[in-house]
Copies of this chain bind each other. A is one copy, B any other.
Amino acid sequence: MDLATVIGVFAGFGLITWAIVGGGSAAVFIDLPSILITVGGMIASTFIHFSLGQVLRIFGVVKKTLFYRLQGEQDLTQMMVNYAAVNRRDGALALEQHIQQVRDPFIIKGVQMLIDGQKEEAIEKQLALEIQYLQERHADGKKVLEFMGASAPAFGMIGTLIGLVQMLRTLDDPSKIGAGMAVALITTFYGALLANLVFLPLAGKLGIRSKKETMLREMVVEGLLSIVRGEGPTAVREKMQAFVSAQHRADLKPKV
């Protein structure tokens, strides 16, 4: 799981909880009807806005962003450098056994096309298409999260309006204004918290992840195409390290 996210989530919710508990009884801050209006209204408007597929896909996209580590530039370069050495020494078919333990379906697909003897153009086109689909999934997910970040405070305000109207309608006993206001404001609190501690930061992280993952995949494509052209480990390494800033370059050699 992404370290910064772990820190952020724990620190953020920890602080808010501490502030609430420290101020006396926390019970008033947990109000099921208020949660239902804010979260339910937000989900309802999200379903009206997007298609079913886009909404359901968001769980997978967020899970992957938070829990799956991307392979580092050096690991990917090392992997491709090894494949280049194997391809040169034993031919493309020998790569078959090396992709057994690979988990990334993108790399498996690319290497498989290489083993199948497909042409450079076909591999490039197919992998570029896969990258494009990845970007579209990420962009869709970012839009859904951003819409949720705008919708949650809106339904928080709608909940507060409902609470205020109900409270004001029966203003017989002025001493009850306070308690009524407190309950009415809870939905605004939920909406602001969800937007600013969950949905908007998550949409940002997804955008950063998308940029990073796209870069890594373009690096892999560059390496694979170099292997397809029959180039050796050194050429593959140089092509892939053009994506990496000078400080992070390493003098990788095949280890197979």
A147 to chain B, nearest CB (A): 7
Q: Mark A50-71, 1 if CB is under 8 A from B, else 0.
A: 1110110000000000000000
Which residues of B lie under 8 Å from residue A166 when comparing CB positions?
20, 23-24, 28
Mark out the residues of chain A between 166 and 186 whose CB falls within 8 Å of any chain B CB in the assembled complex: 166-172, 175, 177-179, 181-182, 185-186
A62 to chain B, nearest CB (A): 12
Complex CA gap A29/B166 in Å reads 9
Mark out the residues of chain A between 199 and 240 whose CB falls within 8 Å of any chain B CB in the assembled complex: 200-202, 204-205, 208, 212
Q: A52 contacts which of B3, B23, B45, B154 (Cβ < 8 Å)?
A: B3
Whether the pair A41, B20 counts as a contact (CB closer than 8 A) is no
Q: A171 contacts which of B44, B167, B175, B185 (Cβ < 8 Å)?
A: B175
Complex CA gap A31/B111 in Å reads 60
The stretch of A4-12, A88-96, A116-124 in contact with B is A4-12
Q: Is A16 an interface residue (CB 8 A)?
A: yes
Which residues of B lie under 8 Å from residue A76 when comparing CB positions?
none
- On chain A, the number of residues with a Cβ less than 8 Å from chain B's Cβ atoms is 85
Whether the pair B165, A171 counts as a contact (CB closer than 8 A) is no
Whether the pair A151, B48 counts as a contact (CB closer than 8 A) is no
Whether the pair B29, A33 counts as a contact (CB closer than 8 A) is no
* Contact A200/B4 with A171-B179, A246-B129 known, Cβ cut-off 8 Å: no
Complex CA gap A218/B151 in Å reads 33
Which residues of B lie under 8 Å from residue A147 when comparing CB positions?
204
Whether the pair A181, B200 counts as a contact (CB closer than 8 A) is no
Q: A12 contacts which of B23, B40, B50, B192 (Cβ < 8 Å)?
A: B40
Q: Is A164 an interface residue (CB 8 A)?
A: yes
Whether the pair B45, A158 counts as a contact (CB closer than 8 A) is no
18 additional contacts (CB under 8 A) given A49-B200, A129-B245: A4-B51, A7-B44, A8-B44, A12-B41, A15-B36, A15-B41, A23-B166, A29-B162, A45-B201, A48-B201, A48-B204, A51-B208, A51-B212, A157-B192, A161-B189, A165-B185, A165-B186, A169-B179
Can you offer 19 A-B residue contacts whose CB atoms are under 8 A?
A: A3-B52, A7-B52, A11-B44, A12-B41, A12-B44, A16-B158, A19-B33, A22-B33, A28-B166, A29-B165, A44-B197, A45-B196, A45-B201, A147-B204, A154-B192, A158-B189, A165-B186, A167-B178, A172-B175
